[in-house]
Amino acid sequence: MSFDRLRRARPGPVAALLILSLVAATEALPAATQAPPRAGILQLDPARTTIAFRLAGALHETHGTFRLTLGTLAVDPSGKASGAVVVDATSGDTENAARDERMKRVVLESDRYPEIRFQPTRVEGALRADGAFHATLHGALTLHGAPHEVAIDVDGRIAGDELTATSHFVVPYIAWGLADPSVLLLTVAKEVQLDVEAAGHVTWSAGA
């Protein structure tokens, strides 16, 4: 992305944004520490979700944020997932207006592609009896209009009907066809690192 602030980091929507592993297979844990599989729907709260990015550069590292538009994820006891996590591509903010304008116009082309969207397909992991979980979320991340298969590791906790989670992942934006914002000696990494902190409300299915 072209941005000084994208000049301070290396790669990683979303979404995870993507923190949705409210349910998953539990075979990896001893029976005494497992929670029974449950089906539910997670509604992420944009006000309590932070999507931060970092882009490394030859002279400095760029930091910035994007805003979550919406996030709804449904997971069944088998680990099958559906729904969508949508990030506003026009909301990129590195606290430098000129850099942000170039990032949106040249790299993200956010006038043509205003959304970054993640669509989950399945969750693999374990939900512990104490509510903590580690999971891998599989699905398609659509950036700049093109979908890419991804697997995102997520760690978090469910307390009653509330979920909190964090995730770190890398987006190889140059390999995915986006423009390189490097200029002369002001070179930047070809991958962006994303760190997501998310929170939301879980609606458990009847009988779960």
Query: Would you list the domain boundaries of the chain?
Result: 5-204
- pLDDT given for residue 137 in this prediction: 95
User: Is residue 11 pLDDT above 90, yes or no?
Assistant: no
Mean pLDDT of 2-9: 37
User: Is residue 202 pLDDT above 80, yes or no?
Assistant: yes
- pLDDT given for residue 58 in this prediction: 87
Spatial contact of 173 and 193, defined as CB atoms under 8 Å apart = no
What count of Cα atoms within 13 Å lies in the side-chain half-sphere of residue 76? 4
How would CATH label the architecture of 5-204?
Answer: Beta Barrel (2.40)
- pLDDT given for residue 38 in this prediction: 66
Sign of CA dihedral 18, 19, 21, 22: negative
Q: Which of 25, 88, 14, 11 is nearest to 56 (CA)?
A: 11
Q: Which of 132, 145, 136, 123 is nearest to 40 (CA)?
A: 123
- pLDDT given for residue 125 in this prediction: 86
Q: Which of 77, 65, 168, 80 is nearest to 116 (CA)?
A: 65
User: Is residue 92 pLDDT above 80, yes or no?
Assistant: yes
Sign of CA dihedral 169, 175, 181, 182: positive
- 149-171 tens-digit pLDDT: 999 999 999 998 999 999 999 99
- pLDDT given for residue 97 in this prediction: 95
- pLDDT given for residue 199 in this prediction: 97
Higher pLDDT pick, 10 / 38: 38
User: Is residue 7 pLDDT above 50, yes or no?
Assistant: no
> pTM of whole model > 0.95?
no
Whole-angstrom distance, CA of residue 107 vs CA of residue 135: 31
Residue 51 burial (CB count, 10 A): 29
- pLDDT given for residue 40 in this prediction: 85
- pLDDT given for residue 129 in this prediction: 86
- pLDDT given for residue 23 in this prediction: 41
User: Is residue 14 pLDDT above 80, yes or no?
Assistant: no
Higher pLDDT pick, 2 / 170: 170
